[in-house]
Chains A and B, each alone.
Chain A
Amino acid sequence: MKYHLLIIFIMVTFFLAGCQFNDIDKRFFVVAIGIDQPENAKHHFRVMLKLTIPSAQVEAGKSDFQIITQESNSISEAIRVIQSLVDKKLDFGHCRVIVLDKKIMQSNQLDLMKWFIKRPDIQGITYVAVGEPSAKEVLSWKVKSERLPANALVLAFNEVTNRSPYVLSEILNDYYMRLRESGIDPYLPIIKPINGSFKINTSVVLKGKTIKAELNRDETRLLNELLNPEKTALIDVGKGKDQIFVNAEQTKTNMKIIIPKKGNPYVDVQIKIKGFIEESQKNLHRRSDIKESEKKAAILVSARVKNFLEHLQKLEVDPLGLGLKYQVKHGITKNELYQWKNLYPKLEFHVKSDVKLKGTGTMY
């Protein structure tokens, strides 16, 4: 009796086979998705998929890929069409980069992003970035050191492999939250292809759901330092003979919105930096030398951060989430949101920074 049941069970299971059984070599892995402005005005998007052509031997600079482009009104439709253009099943499970064109970002981003969010097979940790001059340009760029397609970008955005303070990175889930939530604004890094590599040191900030402005290299670095305390920042203090470079290993930023009964509302920004001196013209033998450098660096950092915050204020963008902090104190109803909108341009920034130099490296 038992054998019979077992045999029947095995027979039945054989009928199940092939439902979804799809071997790894029968799949086309999409490693990056690009979205550009279409050439044909009738369509909304031009969707590009970067597909890998896997090979058994992995070598530097030998990453083989294929880019397939399709214009359409919706992404899902474009994907459907692209599926008919390739021989194997498209697999988005390893899509690690989404590159958007700047022009696309002038319209509402939320609806576009919802498509990515809705698909369970696209990773939440996919990096989102802006491609310049276009997404297509970025996707089709060949990087010399690259062993696997699109891997160079992934490694560049990864906080462990690349600790450069200029490289901002943003993941899909976080980008979506920033788009969705009032009180915090999204930002995206810009990727520019240069000879044999990429340049990722500028960024864009969005106001609400559309693009607002571009941040240059230094502004991007400051934004990065304020967002990510673990990034190592370089602070150059002084000029000429007095110039020293501080390698800031830990940056702690604490912001508070204070609305006093009298006087203007302001943001109290406390920055705590711990670091080492990396380069200096003078010898710093005495304790007082270090103290002096600390003081100078603190003043410089405060001024720089203040400038930057005021710049963001002028642009009316809020990637640091000051609006959230306001809501924490005053509630999240529509009325409060409106008040915050009026309040933000009027805010003052009181920046106080504290730089602690732990040492001077191998030399005094």
Chain B
Amino acid sequence: MTRHFFYIVMLTMMLNIILNVPMVLVQDRFHGSIISIVISIIIGSLFIFLFIIGMSRFPKKGLPEIFHEKFPAYIRNPYLVFLGIMWMASGTFALVSYSYVVKLYLNPEMNLLLILGFLLFIIIFGASKKTDSILYLTEIIIVIAAPMVAFILFKAITSKFFYFDHIKRMGHFIWQIPSYSSISAATYIFIGYINLAIVNRFIDSRKLIKVLWTLPIIGIFVLCSTFFIPMGFLGVNGVNDVVFPWIFITDSLRMEFGFIERVLYLTLCLYLLLVLLFGIITWHIGLKLLEGVFIGKNTSAKTNIKREKLFTFVFLIGMGVLTLILQAITNQRQFFYIVKLWLNIRFPAEFMLVVLVYLISRRQKA
């Protein structure tokens, strides 16, 4: 099951090639984005390393169980709820962003809320499944999608309309003081490891440590492609003209001998798959974190299962409604502002969690 952890981390990386992260980085491209990419790779790798070392001291245990042992309820429960909501928000934002993409490119005449509602329906359906089922699902989708993402990247880099000179021009903006938001956005691509909080129940995380060195390398590659490739097509100024630079530039690509001629539609369908999967995973993990609040309040087994199911659906549908409301009351600009704000809050929250887990794991050994 160890590989499933990598799939999730890969998924978040692939997904953030096109969503939300490039938005912030592109905005700050003259104000230290490049250096923040470098910094974020160091920070991101450190976080992953500490978190995995921490979790590996608690074999076959999820975060709720660990907290249950270590903290009293009045600290544990609010924190678990906070983490759960934070984590679900991450999926929600990806989903809402993508609903704009769908509206723009695939179903231009359909109501935005209807599109989002449909995506939410699928996510709620998927997130209510068992954790190990979701891991199998991840594997299947990543095995299908990863080669295609690689193909699109390859297509982009070898395109005639990809000007390397534009990227070289950015070289003049390396030595800038990075802004906080660009660092917190860039570290976001590594966020997939947080799933270990629940997935640790199924994964022997000690085995992960040996192969961890691959993640920073993939991270560099992903961050560079997310930031630089659109620039190679659109120029350093033009890249800020479009809302979704990555999706825009795939429309410059053509598969001369493909069944579908326009790479754009391949990208759209592929990323729809990935976004839905990401949504399912984040919502599921969020749900499990929240369920952790109720650990130890077991009643009889049968009513418990029924109650758990009811709670799952009520909670997920409630979150779905909240997402719809968020979609309804904001416009695209406001929404992106909220995402940016959230990215900024997420960074210290992530830091706190990693340090906390690491510290209690130290005490565990002693």
Contact = CB atoms under 8 A, between A and B. Distances in A.
Q: Which of B237, B251, B253, B262 has the largest count of A CB atoms less than 10 A from its CB?
A: B251
Given A181-B238, A324-B165, A331-B172, A19 B252 contact: no
A124 B111 contact: no
A120 B108 contact: yes
Interface-central residue, A174, A177, A228, A325, by most chain B CB under 10 Å: A177
A19 B169 contact: no
A181 B235 contact: yes
A176 B111 CA distance: 30
Interface string B140-166: 000000000000000000001101011
A173 B248 CA distance: 9
B233 A173 contact: yes
Contact of B251 (A16, A19, A124, A180): A124
Nearest to A126: B251
A252 B227 CA distance: 28
A173 B232 CA distance: 12
Contacts of B233: 173-174, 177
Contact of A176 (B114, B160, B238, B262): B238
A299 B161 CA distance: 30
A321 B233 CA distance: 13
B241 A180 contact: yes
B364 to A, nearest CB: 45
Contacts of A173: 161, 233-234, 248-249, 251-252
Interface residues of B, number: 34
Contacts, number: 82
B161 A180 contact: no
A177 B108 CA distance: 25
B163 A321 contact: yes
A177 B245 CA distance: 13
Interface string B242-272: 1000001101111010000010100000000
A117 B234 CA distance: 12
A125 interface: yes
B109 interface: yes
Contact of B236 (A19, A117, A158, A332): A332
Given A177-B233, A327-B169, 6 more contacts: A120-B105, A121-B108, A173-B252, A180-B234, A324-B163, A324-B169
Interface of B: 104-105, 107-111, 114, 160-161, 163, 165-166, 168-169, 171-172, 233-238, 241-242, 248-249, 251-254, 256, 262, 264
Interface of A: 16, 19-20, 22, 117, 120-121, 123-125, 158, 160, 171, 173-174, 176-177, 180-182, 184, 228, 321, 324-325, 327-328, 331-332
